[in-house]
Amino acid sequence: MSTNRKIITNGYIITMDDNLGDLPNGAVLIEGNKIVAVAESAEDFTGIEAEVIDAEGGIILPGIVDSHRHTWMSLLRAISADMSLPEFLVNTFYRIGSVVTAEDMGAATLVGSLEAIDSGVTTIMDCCDCVNTPDHGIAAVESLRQTGIRGVYAYGMQHYDFQPRAFHEHSERLRDAERLLKDQFSSDSLVKMGILMSDYGTLPFEHSAAEFNKGADMGVLMCSHTGAATSSLLLKGLREFKDHNLIRPNHLHIHCNGFTDPEWEIVKETGGKVSISPETEMQMGMGHPPFRKSLEHGIMPSFSTDIVCVGSGDLFSQMRLGLQFQRTIDNDKVHANGTMPMTIDLSVRDALRWATQGGAEALGLGDEIGSLTPGKKADVIIVSAKRSFVPSSYPAGTVVLQTTAADVDTVIIDGEIKKRHGELVGQDLFLVRARATQALERMRKAAEKLPLADAAGIKQWWTIGERMATKSFGEAYKTGLMV
């Protein structure tokens, strides 16, 4: 029997391809790392020698895409469950980030990637904004490759007080990113490289400009936490960057809660993409998850889990929270007119589209993944029906509103099975847990030596940050010239 071909059958197929639609009892033929055909019945593939994967009445759909995930914080589960954005940045992000070693990075990235696969995520944008040394980048990429996940490794430009200091100048970090691209990535790599920019306003304007230009020179995907603090100047700067022709097409803007309409227009005009993290945004005071605003400006949003420091590491939770939140806001507008909503505008299929095609396009992979279209990469998942007492009356609704990681039976990435019968395969999970626990303990002991900021200290830190942003964005026009 050929192991190069696989036939997935006996399930309800949601192709996310408008031309193919849903196939209630269809079958998918995979050859190598590609989808060869999708049929209404497995009988269409009679006579083809292949490994048969029985979905056992489950739901077959494209692998979902997490467009913004910080795997380096995967060991810090729920540590920031009661924190605002400023408190998180002071007492978790910068504080613990300053003690993360390359070994810690490798362990955390491994755990974060496996958690993603376990929950049906086949592709991630790994926002690695804790590259304390050149070895950190290498460790992260090695762990991503070890899991076999598809994705973009976004090399972060953020600076921490890590000792001994590896980068003394901003230009050194830019050169290291270029070195990593040359040494660790190839055109056929399952994991591509990107750049996660320093948080806007925290560095001199010329340094942010250098990051934009370096990304353009390297030809990699650029992303940033943009407009993530409603009512604050921090993380803004779109007008200044656009005035200097720095924003390239396909730039991925993460969060976007604080955008004004003119800023949304800049994202649209520059061909930008949007990633939304409902759970962290709602908790941390970033503002309303901006699904409606994104749609109003003709931009398909995508979903992200962000950090397990706060909430769930599965994208089903983000779909559920995000969709139901936006429905609540939409319904409120109807209530304000003294009547009841007679219909619901946004559907579960909209949310599923954002989690598949939206994520694929956000990462520049729209032609390769995001639907079960023949010719695309074989990234496929099966949501099991085994835990249900009756079959689903609306499979798309079940996927978006009722599924958890525990329901994910099978995960196939690039034609390779990574999870089967509810269990991850090809990994020594005992060793993974032991390595992760050791790294967490080391990080805890190191962090105990660092002070925790109180409310007054957090406010002072944030105020200083806003003053830095004022100075940084003002520098954009210090010559009195605009491009």
The tokens for 448 are: 């105990």
pTM over 0.85: yes
Task: Tell me the C-alpha distance between 73 and 105, whole Å.
Answer: 9
Task: Tell me the C-alpha distance between 191 and 145, whole Å.
Answer: 7
Q: Residue 475 burial by CB count (10 A; 0-12/13-18/19+): exposed, middle or buried?
A: middle
Are 351 and 362 in contact by the 8 Å Cβ rule? The answer is no
Strands (E) across 110-169 are located at 121-128, 150-156
Dihedral pair phi/psi, residue 62, rounded to 5° = -65, 150
- Cβ count within 10 A of residue 339: 8
Cα 414 → chain centroid: 18
Please, which residues have CB within 8 angstroms of residue 153's CB and are 6 or more apart in sequence?
A: 126, 128, 137, 140, 141, 144, 191, 192, 193, 194
What are the DSSP calls for 169-203, one per residue?
A: SHHHHHHHHHHHHHHH--TT-SEEEEEEPPPTTSS
Report the candidate in 3, 4, 5, 35 with the shortest Cα–Cα distance to residue 20.
Answer: 35
Task: Tell me the C-alpha distance between 275 and 309, whole Å.
Answer: 18
Task: Tell me the C-alpha distance between 355 and 449, whole Å.
Answer: 40
pLDDT tens series, the chain, 483 aa: 446 999 999 999 999 999 999 999 999 999 999 999 999 999 999 999 999 999 999 999 999 999 999 999 999 999 999 999 999 999 999 999 999 999 999 999 999 999 999 999 999 999 999 999 999 999 999 999 999 999 999 999 999 999 999 999 999 999 999 999 999 998 878 999 999 999 999 999 999 999 999 999 999 999 999 999 999 999 999 999 999 999 999 999 999 999 999 999 999 999 999 999 999 999 999 999 999 999 999 999 999 999 999 999 999 999 999 999 999 999 999 999 999 999 999 999 999 999 999 999 999 999 999 999 999 999 999 999 998 999 999 999 999 999 999 999 999 999 999 999 999 999 999 999 999 999 999 999 999 999 999 999 999 999 999 999 999 999 999 865 454
The tokens for 151 are: 């994705």
Task: Tell me the C-alpha distance between 308 and 69, whole Å.
Answer: 9
Are 347 and 381 in contact by the 8 Å Cβ rule? The answer is no
